Structure 1
Amino acid sequence: MKARTALLVLIVALLGYLAFFNFSTLAQDVPMSLGFTEVHGPLGLVMLALYALMAAIFLAYVIAMQATWLLEVRAHNKALQAQRELAEKAEISRFTELRGALDDKQTQWEKRVMERLDALENHLKARAEESDNVHAAYLGQLEEQLRNQPGKESPPALGQQ
């Protein structure tokens, strides 16, 4: 229990204690002046009733303030939730945009790599054909040299055995 609440409970308990044990004094009929007239009644009970009325009014005021505060907090929380949802949607869209950008970059890199591979493959094929042609030419020259060698019988062509 908070200190203020404990103090208020203590004061109310003390007032109740005093009222209970001094009820005969509180209930005595005495003349009371209202300023413009004089009436007879129990002054203690009237004062006790006024204290109770004042306590009820303050309690109602505190409850009204708490209710207003709670409504403001609720509205504030709704606004914060809406802002949070907007931020999350924006973050999701940024992630989606980033993913799209990364996919585009990956596609570009893949295209570049494939172009380079195609160029290398074409170059390799050209080199292989060139190498085949060079080897065929060397073999042809060797065959020709072996056929034209003086004093020896010409061997059959390499492909005609």
Structure 2
Amino acid sequence: MKIRTLLLVLFILFIAGFVALNFEQILQPTALNFGFTQVQAPMGLVLLGMLALVLVVFLAALVYYQTLHLMEVRRITREAADQRVLADKAEASRFTELRQYLQGEQIATTARDDALAERLHAKLDQVQAALTQVIEQNGNGLSASIGELEDRMERRLPPSGSASI
């Protein structure tokens, strides 16, 4: 229990005890002056009634302000929930946009990779064709050189069949 609530309960119990102990004196009639008239009534009972009336007024005000506070808290909670939903939707939208962007970038990267692979294959085919041509030319050149050397050797050496006879 909060200390204020405990003090309030103790104060109310103190007043109730005081009233219970002095109830006979509270009920004794007295001449009361209300300004425009004079009445015979028990002064303690009138004061006790006024205290009860003030207590009821303060309790009604407390209930009214507590109700206003609760309604405001509910309104703020509802607005916060709406804002949270909007934030979640915005975040989901950003994730969707990011996913679409990344998919687009992946498609573009794949297309660039495919284009580069095609260019690489074309370049490799060109290099292979050039290399094949160079190898053929070297082979032809070597064949021609070997043929020329064979011709020279045949001219310088006598035929092998006539030397043995």
Give per-residue Cα distances to partners, 1:38-78, cap 9 Å, x unaligned.
Answer: 22222211211111111011011101100111001100111
1:63 aligns with 2:63: yes
Query: What's the % identity of the aligned pairs?
Result: 34
Out of 139-148 and 8-17, give the one that drifted further: 139-148
| Superposed structure 1 runs of 4+ greater than 6 Å apart | none
TM-score, with structure 1 as normaliser: 0.85
Q: Distance in 2 between matches of 1:97 and 1:78?
A: 28
Structure 2, gaps ≥5 residues long? 156-165
Q: Distance in 1 between matches of 2:67 and 2:130?
A: 93
Superposition RMSD on alpha carbons, in Å? 1.8
Q: Distance in 1 between matches of 2:41 and 2:86?
A: 67
Structure 1, gaps ≥5 residues long? 153-161
Out of 133-142 and 80-89, give the one that drifted further: 133-142
Residue number in structure 1 paired with 2:54: 54
* Corresponding letter in the other structure for 2:86: L
SS in 2 for 1:60: helix
TM-score, with structure 2 as normaliser: 0.83
Out of 116-125 and 33-42, give the one that drifted further: 33-42
Q: CA deviation at 1:115?
A: 1.2
Q: Distance in 1 between matches of 2:141 and 2:14?
A: 131
SS in 2 for 1:41: strand
Structure number with larger C-alpha Rg: 2
1:8 aligns with 2:8: yes
1:118 aligns with 2:118: yes
Q: Distance in 2 between matches of 1:29 and 1:104?
A: 96
